[in-house]
């Protein structure tokens, strides 16, 4: 499914980007973090608002719009400092645009994320960020549906997904699913990368 922006560029709802990261190294660093047991859904922040990482910093002033990430400064967390390969993956994008929120998203075995939308996570939204998804642990029986059709994401791949559209996740397996998600401001470099990638798909 495609959607037209004011610039008349049509963006697909899913685009596999030209990056291939080492899934084994990501799994190794993920396991080194020794995250505890959880029920259903768990989030670990690797990059977060600076005042939450360093509590000596003041809270940022109120903002009219929080969607684009400009309301605060962003800082790597101690967990990311323990994960040099994950940091290098994030640096791939930090050197080209402003990276805001970065997280490891964990979905428990036999858990389901009901269909929903994220109203600000799409290239078509003015003054917002987009989210790139890199599966880390994504074995058989993991189903990610976008606009009612599956997205066949494999570990180490990098995808842009238009999450303003309806999407849901089914973990039908006996192991947790882990994705690395990287939010960033879609500047010209990001847009061109996505445009070129969807032309090659």
Strand stretches in 25-172, DSSP E: 41-49, 74-76, 99-107, 112-116, 130-137, 142-146, 149-150, 157-161, 167-171
Q: Give the pLDDT band (50/70/90) at residue 6.
A: very low
State percent of the chain over pLDDT 90. Answer: 83
Measured CA to CA, the distance from residue 23 to residue 26 in angstroms comes to 5
Average pLDDT over residues 68-85: 95
Average pLDDT over residues 108-127: 94
Q: What share of the chain is helix, strand, coil (3-state, %, to 5)?
A: 20, 35, 45
Q: Give the pLDDT band (50/70/90) at residue 188.
A: very high
Question: Using one digit for the tens of pLDDT, what is the confidence trace for 121-167?
Answer: 999 998 899 999 999 998 788 999 999 999 999 999 999 999 999 99
Question: Using one digit for the tens of pLDDT, what is the confidence trace for 31-61?
Answer: 999 898 888 999 999 999 999 999 999 999 9
Over 90: is that where the pLDDT of 90 sits? yes
For the chain, which residues make up each domain, given as ranges?
A: 2-54+68-200
And the tokens for 74? 């962003």
Average pLDDT over residues 2-21: 80
Q: What's the predicted TM-score (pTM) here?
A: 0.93
Question: What is the phi-psi region of residue 176: left when phi exceeds 0, alpha when psi lies from -120 to 50, beta otherwise?
Answer: beta
Q: Kindly report the CA angle at 5 between 4 and 11, in degrees rounded to 5?
A: 55
Please tell me the predicted confidence (pLDDT) of residue 10.
Answer: 82
| CATH of 2-54+68-200 given 2.60.120.330, 1.10.630.10, 3.40.30.10, 3.40.190.10 | 2.60.120.330
Over 90: is that where the pLDDT of 97 sits? yes
State percent of the chain over pLDDT 70. Answer: 95
In this structure, the number of other CB atoms found within 10 A of the CB of residue 111 comes to 16
Please tell me the predicted confidence (pLDDT) of residue 197.
Answer: 95
In this structure, the number of other CB atoms found within 10 A of the CB of residue 81 comes to 10
Over 80: is that where the pLDDT of 88 sits? yes
Return the closest-CA partner of residue 46 out of 180, 191, 196, 195. Answer: 180
């Amino acid at each position: 499914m495609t959607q037209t922006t004011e610039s008349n560029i049509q963006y697909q709802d899913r685009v596999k980007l030209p990056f291939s990261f080492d899934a084994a190294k990501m799994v190794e660093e993920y396991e080194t973090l020794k995250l505890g047991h959880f029920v259903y859904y768990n989030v670990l922040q690797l990059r977060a608002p600076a005042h939450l990482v360093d509590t000596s910093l003041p809270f940022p002033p109120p903002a009219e719009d929080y969607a684009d990430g400009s309301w605060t400064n962003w800082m790597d967390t101690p967990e990311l400092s323990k994960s040099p390969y994950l940091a290098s993956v994030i640096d791939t994008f930090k050197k080209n645009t402003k990276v805001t929120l970065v997280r490891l998203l964990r979905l428990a075995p036999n858990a389901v994320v009901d269909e929903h939308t994220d109203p600000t996570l799409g290239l078509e939204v003015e003054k917002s960020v987009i989210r790139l998804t890199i599966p880390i642990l994504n074995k058989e029986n993991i189903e990610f549906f976008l606009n009612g059709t599956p997205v066949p994401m494999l570990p180490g791949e990098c995808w842009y997904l238009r999450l303003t559209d309806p999407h849901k996740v089914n973990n039908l397996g006996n192991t947790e699913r882990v994705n690395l998600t990287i939010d960033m401001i879609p500047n010209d470099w990001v847009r061109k990368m996505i445009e070129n990638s969807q032309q090659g798909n």
